[in-house]
A and B are shown apart, each in its own frame.
Chain A
Amino acid sequence: QVQLVESGGGVVQPGSSLRLSCAASGFTFSAYTIHWVRQAPGAGLEWVAFLSNDGGEIHYADSVEGRFAISRDSSDKTLHLQMNSLSPEDTAVYYCARSRGAGSHYFDFWGQGARVTVSS
């Protein structure tokens, strides 16, 4: 069955870095695109980042532009999110979510999320 499994979350101090991973299985990885979406405690959903299948198109939310970097490893069907210069405002559950891509960037499947806490 379709699975997206996030890993790499944890508690870090402000200014630190963290790398999240999303392992995909149960579907044809190349036929979909994967995004990162986050949800701060008690808040709504915020889209974070996108990387196209061929790596030629990348988009970030303004709130993370220049600090976060998304990458994709097609050989092991994994998506990564390198998060640098973390601040308390980055505290959230980070979900990876699947979309069909190419103008159909709605999310038909979500992982269970990785919790990131930025606190001194």
Chain B
Amino acid sequence: VMTQSPATLSVSPGERATLSCGASQSVGRSLAWYQQKPGQAPRLLIYLTSTRAAGIPARFSGSGSETEFTLTISSLQSEDVAVYYCQQYYAWPLTFGGGTKVEIK
């Protein structure tokens, strides 16, 4: 089971946003992050815990291992308003966290 916190995060523009994802058992580093904006399909941000996908801005970074992971947006932009999901691909079934909604304060 993947658990994300907080459920909603309000951050001022230019400030840092820190999103957490916890796994009920170790998933090694097999952890990905996605961004989903309203009415759109999810977009891959990070895979293998900390590798940015193609075209993803450097303000997005990932860290962690085993059971505790973090997605950091170093300087929040208006276009970063979205729901963010983590996903483990260490074992079947593949599972997603419940999501963190990021808002502009």
Contact = CB atoms under 8 A, between A and B. Distances in A.
A61 B30 contact: no
Interface string B64-87: 000000000000000000010101
Contacts of B36: 45
Nearest to B40: A112
* Size bracket, chain B contacts: 20 to 34
B96 A45 contact: yes
B94 A47 contact: yes
Majority SS at the chain B contact face: loop
Interface in A61-89: 61-62
Interface residues of A, number: 24
B65 to A, nearest CB: 16
Interface of B: 30, 32, 34, 36, 41-44, 47-48, 53-54, 83, 85, 87, 89, 92-99
Interface of A: 35, 44-47, 50, 59-62, 95, 97, 99, 103-113
28 contacts: A44-B83, A44-B97, A45-B42, A45-B87, A45-B96, A45-B99, A47-B87, A47-B93, A47-B94, A47-B95, A47-B96, A50-B94, A60-B93, A61-B93, A95-B42, A97-B42, A106-B30, A106-B32, A106-B44, A106-B47, A106-B89, A107-B44, A107-B87, A108-B53, A110-B43, A111-B41, A112-B41, A113-B41
